[in-house]
Amino acid sequence: MNRAATTLSIVAAFAAGCGVTRYIHPALAADTITAQVIHTGDLEGDALSAANASGMRNKLFVSLDGITVSIQDGNTPKHLHTDANEMQYILEGTGTIWLGDKEVPVKPGDLVIIPKGTPHGGTKVTGHTIKSIAIKSPPQAPDDIKLLTD
């Protein structure tokens, strides 16, 4: 009898969890994604966005519960995010960036891992600006940027 009661309790708890998740999760989830191929080499200038004050252009590709994927092209001042982890896959351009407390060289094909709270940016390019795919988790809140001075 104890085995039957335990099994019934587990099944009831699982069903309750599924029911609650059905009502809570849609409030947290963002848009769905669509199968597609994005030709990042074709995205230049205003096809990305108007340049911001520091010359950075970007375009958001995917925004889901817990992650964003975008393309960035240009220079950005040295800064950090207190709540968002970031990964940047370098598509074009060479130069150096600040990562933590040192300048590091980057080139196409490099993957830059930036844990939350890590100073980064301050790009110094040689030739074409640095164009990268930026993945942030959790998505960066509008106020989650702290500009730093060199």
Query: In which region does residue 99 sit, left (phi positive, over 0), alpha (psi from -120 to 50) or beta (all else)?
Result: beta
pLDDT digits (tens, 9 = 90+) for 19-47: 544 444 343 444 577 888 989 888 888 88
Rounded to whole angstroms, the Cα distance separating 3 from 148 reads: 61
Spatial CA neighbour of 114 closest among 70, 79, 73: 79
Q: Are residues 100 and 120 in the same domain?
A: yes
CATH of residue 95: 2.60.120.10
Rounded to whole angstroms, the Cα distance separating 84 from 114 reads: 9
The segments of the chain whose pLDDT lies below 70 read 1-31, 150
Q: Are residues 77 and 59 in the same domain?
A: yes
pLDDT of residue 110: 96
Q: Are residues 126 and 54 in the same domain?
A: yes
pLDDT of residue 91: 95
pLDDT of residue 150: 63
pLDDT of residue 68: 92
Q: Model-level pTM?
A: 0.75
pLDDT of residue 8: 56
Does a structural domain hold residue 74? Answer: yes
Domain that holds residue 13: 1-30
